[in-house]
Structure 1
């Protein structure tokens, strides 16, 4: 049944509930034949006619159009706001539950746009919970089932999320294809902020599969596109992605220049809490590109840690800052200080994506090894290894196995260290 048919059915149902004939409902502004055509789905009433009929039937316009009352609409919108808030605060399991309730309770049946919002939110929350297969199924279904009624911006957002999910699952060909279906071809579409973000997902997929030359070339194109779009967010997205590729390809000076420019742009235009998160990422890049300045980056992160606490940042934001502080203190030879920060990380990892939990336990293993606590290091690595065995074979997974191998070597677990090295090599096809 079409939306037009449903509107007609609702008008007919409410009219009968009110004990009115078609002629009584129509008089004096409309003809009874016109009302009959509306109720049978053969005519689409104009917004003005719908308002008139809602007033005559003493019901809300929202109900006639969508099949829900104004009170129900308010409840749905409130539930969506709470789900988004949970997601923004890093409470991904809570967000997933709230979005799933909205999708399954049937209240959104006559609200295609809000249902689409809920399905998209559910997919993002499912991804954040580490369920890549579930997120891919949701995003693929949303992409296929709503293609004709999906706004262009949402279509691009779904492609961004789907490409990221495929990349994290190790399906790099799929990750590239999803993005190239929109960005590929001899003629690029007109660049927008959304397409710049999709470009960063494509750039990450190129880099992950080892196509660093293509990543470098496309990064240049993306920077030029950001100049055309000329918005702060476009600049930040493109420069940040290019900085990461520069680090991956050993171009430290270029990475620093790009990261500096990104931070400067966001410092002028960004929201304070997001700026604090960006500084965490900035410190991470700088530690890779300028490791001799680790004390400077440590001091920056200490300030950011305070900012995150004062701004009510999400658990994920606080955890990522604490992780980088652990790296700094280990580089500085301060394992006891690193231990304080790793405890903060471990206190926050519940309900975090699995990849983040793996990294946290590997990092905890590094700290315990640096402290000479071999048994505790082995215990942390065992937790990480159990999850790593389920991860797809990607460059990212190879790096995690390499980290495990180095820690095991440090605590004289030679046989297990060799096995971890072999697993790292297998992830990159060696």
Structure 2
């Protein structure tokens, strides 16, 4: 039986290569709507349908399941997909840079792997370039499944880079495509994950909460990794709304359903999220934060990336600050190369906010306050209203505290 990625994608290309509309190819035996769902990957074909379409296109049935060429890009892609190693992906990047006239589907598949490589290394610029091209190819092919996946990933990348306005446009578009075409649950869920995260960042918290609830309900019977991510998303929204109890409850559910042997990276990332959530509480729960951070450190010692090592160090700075260990917080902060941070926009701004608070504690009050004001203004101009409000709150509390002192 064909998979959505092999049959649907090849069917679309073969139809377009022959200049046929969906109606012309469908003929009298199948509906245009059914053909559209085959091409999008929302439906799998039966053997009778495969034989019928092969006859209409005058091709052998094998044409639906093979790549059109055995180029160097095909070889590099096959090696990268099967080897699961950075060296193989780096070879693919080199080959991809020299190939311009390959099948667009082949380019899309290569870019999908390359984008993940840059994501794991925290190179947002390279990741963004890949996703922009991925989205362009998907739109040219008019394949809803690829459009949804590309735009969902692009929205999350733009959010991480702080470009909230564009991120929201792509997240909304991805969700609309998934709903209109009736894509599989995994595609609709990933679109919702992107949409919820962007809406929360934009300060559209009621919308984010409603979509988070829709997401949790949607994946109730899905794989545990997807359910865990949905619950984490709901926890994030609750936290932004100041509902710490609900946020912790959602995150506890996420951690409870996920086995570390099934998804060790996600398992550890949830612990980092829990540590961060407990540090952001009012008042902060440093004991719980320290316990979760310790669990995450142990896991990431085996499976962590440089990005996650930075995230751990940033949380160590936060923990030391909240416990009043200011010298240790500054020492940990000094271990970070601020010019080479691989963190997302929110985490980078939060780190700078913490640096401002440290400056004030260290007696450099004027410098620290000026930096806080600038950070709040920068977040506002980036349309990151939720983060801007968080910084202004820190500034107000700092001014109140220093005035009282």
TM-score (normalizing by structure 2)? 0.67
Aligned partners of 1:123 and 1:135 also within 8 Å: yes
Which position in structure 1 is the counterpart of 2:3? none
Give the drift of 1:397: 4.9
Which position in structure 2 is the counterpart of 1:223? 216
Cα separation, partners in 2 of 1:46 and 1:3, compared to 1, 3 Å: same
Which position in structure 2 is the counterpart of 1:169? 163
Give the drift of 1:264: 1.0
Per mean C-alpha deviation after superposition, the further-off stretch among 262-271 and 397-406 is 397-406
Q: Matches of 1:409 and 1:83 in 2, distance apart?
A: 51
Which position in structure 2 is the counterpart of 1:145? 140
Select the residue among 119, 129, 140 that pairs with 2:123: 129
Is 1:318 equivalent to 2:313 in the alignment? no
Q: Matches of 1:296 and 1:166 in 2, distance apart?
A: 32
Which position in structure 2 is the counterpart of 1:56? none
Is 1:118 equivalent to 2:110 in the alignment? yes
Spell out, residue by residue over 1:285-325, the C-alpha distance to the aligned partner (whole angstroms, 9 max, x if none): 233346442122123313432442x3151111111112122
Q: Secondary structure at the match of 1:178?
A: helix
Aligned partners of 2:376 and 2:389 also within 8 Å: no
Alignment of 1:215-364 (within 5 A): 215-229=208-222, 231-267=223-259, 270-289=262-281, 291-308=283-300, 310-346=301-337, 349-350=340-341, 356-364=347-355
Cα separation, partners in 2 of 1:99 and 1:156, compared to 1, 3 Å: farther
Aligned partners of 1:163 and 1:178 also within 8 Å: no
Is 1:180 equivalent to 2:175 in the alignment? yes
Cα separation, partners in 2 of 1:410 and 1:129, compared to 1, 3 Å: farther
Is 1:371 equivalent to 2:362 in the alignment? yes
Q: Matches of 1:43 and 1:395 in 2, distance apart?
A: 56
Cα separation, partners in 2 of 1:201 and 1:386, compared to 1, 3 Å: closer
Q: Secondary structure at the match of 1:228?
A: coil
Alignment of 1:33-182 (within 5 A): 44=59, 65-68=68-71, 73-78=74-79, 85=86, 101-106=94-99, 109-110=101-102, 112-122=104-114, 128-131=122-125, 134=129, 137-148=132-143, 152=145, 154-165=146-157, 167=159, 168-171=162-165, 174-182=169-177
Q: Matches of 2:101 and 2:85 in 1, distance apart?
A: 20
Aligned partners of 1:369 and 1:377 also within 8 Å: yes
Provide the aligned C-alpha RMSD in A: 4.5
Give the drift of 1:197: 1.9
Give the drift of 1:202: 1.6
Q: Matches of 1:292 and 1:385 in 2, distance apart?
A: 22
5+ residue gaps, structure 1, are 7-41, 49-60, 88-94, 413-430
Aligned residues: 343
Q: Secondary structure at the match of 1:142?
A: helix
Give the drift of 1:342: 1.6
TM-score (normalizing by structure 1)? 0.64
Give the drift of 1:209: 3.5
Q: Matches of 1:277 and 1:262 in 2, distance apart?
A: 11
Aligned partners of 2:202 and 2:384 also within 8 Å: yes
Spell out, residue by residue over 1:49-84, the C-alpha distance to the aligned partner (whole angstroms, 9 max, x if none): xxxxxxxxxxxx98xx51426xx7544544677897
Give the drift of 1:246: 1.3
Aligned partners of 1:166 and 1:174 also within 8 Å: no
Q: Secondary structure at the match of 2:234?
A: helix
Q: Matches of 2:348 and 2:92 in 1, distance apart?
A: 23
Aligned partners of 1:162 and 1:178 also within 8 Å: no
Spell out, residue by residue over 1:230-272, the C-alpha distance to the aligned partner (whole angstroms, 9 max, x if none): x101211211111111112222222111110101112466433
Give the drift of 1:337: 2.0
Aligned partners of 1:240 and 1:258 also within 8 Å: yes
Q: Matches of 1:232 and 1:373 in 2, distance apart?
A: 48
Q: Matches of 1:101 and 1:351 in 2, distance apart?
A: 23
Which position in structure 2 is the counterpart of 1:38? none
Q: Matches of 2:226 and 2:216 in 1, distance apart?
A: 9
